[in-house]
């Protein structure tokens, strides 16, 4: 019987990781990253102790992308669990499999984040057995050894989880009859003060949208692109499938209300 899954298992704990995102992932020079870096090459700011040398100054040094990244706890899982405390620094025979495992593990942990969100809601009670079975199945995949984890085809579990999340979303949003804006192009849209409670905004493009004071309670935001969206004064209480990278990429402030499981980004006023 595995230990119960805690929300903290799905949040990055960089103190128990070996800086995996700073090495395994490629950076493309852009507004998010001040330099180009191929995957598998350490960021020039990564210290020997695997801490970030400019952690307190990432935004002003041109790395806002690092401040919004979240591995959903995959980094410490790969480091401490999958690889038993080893490090990519030991050599290519560890580094290659470790980076490959990290890529898959992050996707699995993201599925766990969404499944726990769905399973923690009273409205999804008719689905709880299925949701908990899916949680057990995905968790068992996260415990695979490196040689099985790296080549794992994530599509079948993702499809199963997607179907469950869709049904969970329908159950949660049903009382509110919110608008269906699934995958809508709302780039730069003026939606301040909009009544979007229970809306389906799954996959919507909300880049730079003005959502100040919008009522987004219980809205489905799975995969919605919130980069630069203005959430000041918005109410996202109970919003479904919201992640730390989404909020981190948006603008917000102390008046933005977030679901309990999502932490207020440090750079919000």
In this structure, are residues 115 and 163 in contact, taking their beta carbons and an 8 Å threshold? no
Q: How far is the CB of 180 from ligand SF4 (least distance, A)?
A: 34
3-state secondary structure of 185: strand
Nearest residue (CB) to ligand SF4, 103 versus 255: 103
Q: Give the position of tokens 């969206």.
A: 229
**H or E segment to which residue 21 belongs:** helix 20-24
19 binds ligand SF4 (CB under 6 A): yes
Q: Verify binding: residue 98, ligand SF4, rule CB under 6 A.
A: no
144: left (phi over 0), alpha (psi -120 to 50) or beta: beta
The region of 71-79, 140-148, 160-168, 199-207 touching ligand SF4 under the rule CB under 6 A is 71-79
Interface map 27-66 toward ligand SF4 (x if CB under 6 A): ----------------------------------------
Q: Which is nearer to ligand SF4, 21 or 184 (CB)?
A: 21
CA–CA gap between residue 217 and residue 181 (Å, rounded)? 15
Contacting ligand SF4 (CB under 6 A), which of 5, 14, 34, 258? 14
CA distance 5 to 81: 14
* Total residues at interface with ligand SF4 (CB under 6 A): 11
Residue 117: partners with Cβ closer than 8 Å, 6 or more residues away: 240, 241, 261
Q: Is 146 in the site for ligand SF4 (CB under 6 A)?
A: no
Using CB under 6 A as the binding rule, whether residue 71 contacts ligand SF4 is answered as yes
Q: Which residues bind ligand SF4 (CB under 6 A)?
A: 12-14, 17, 19-21, 69, 71, 75-76
């Amino acid at each position: 019987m595995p230990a119960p899954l805690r929300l903290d298992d799905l949040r990055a704990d960089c103190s128990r990781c070996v800086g995996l995102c700073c090495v395994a992932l490629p950076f493309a020079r852009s507004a998010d990253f001040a330099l180009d870096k191929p995957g598998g090459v350490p960021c020039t700011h990564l210290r020997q102790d695997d801490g970030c040398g400019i952690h307190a100054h990432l935004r002003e040094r041109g790395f806002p992308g690092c401040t919004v990244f979240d591995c959903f706890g995959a980094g410490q899982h790969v480091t401490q669990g999958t690889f038993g405390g080893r490090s990519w620094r030991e050599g290519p025979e560890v580094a290659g499999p470790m980076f490959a495992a990290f890529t898959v593990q992050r996707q699995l942990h993201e599925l766990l984040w969404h499944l726990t969100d769905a399973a923690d809601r009273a409205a999804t009670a008719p689905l709880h057995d299925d949701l908990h079975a899916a949680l057990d199945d995905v968790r068992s995949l996260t415990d695979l050894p490196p040689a099985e984890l790296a080549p794992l085809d994530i599509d079948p579990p993702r499809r199963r989880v997607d179907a469950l999340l869709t049904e969970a979303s329908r159950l949660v949003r049903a009382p509110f009859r919110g608008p269906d804006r699934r995958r809508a192009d709302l780039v730069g849209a003026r939606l301040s003060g909009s009544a979007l409670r229970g809306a389906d905004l799954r996959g919507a493009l909300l880049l730079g949208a003005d959502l100040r004071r919008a009522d987004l309670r219980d809205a489905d935001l799975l995969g919605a692109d919130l980069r630069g969206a203005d959430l000041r004064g918005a109410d996202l209480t109970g919003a479904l499938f919201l992640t730390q990278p989404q909020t981190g990429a948006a603008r917000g402030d102390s008046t933005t209300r977030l679901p309990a499981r999502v932490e207020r980004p440090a750079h919000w006023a």
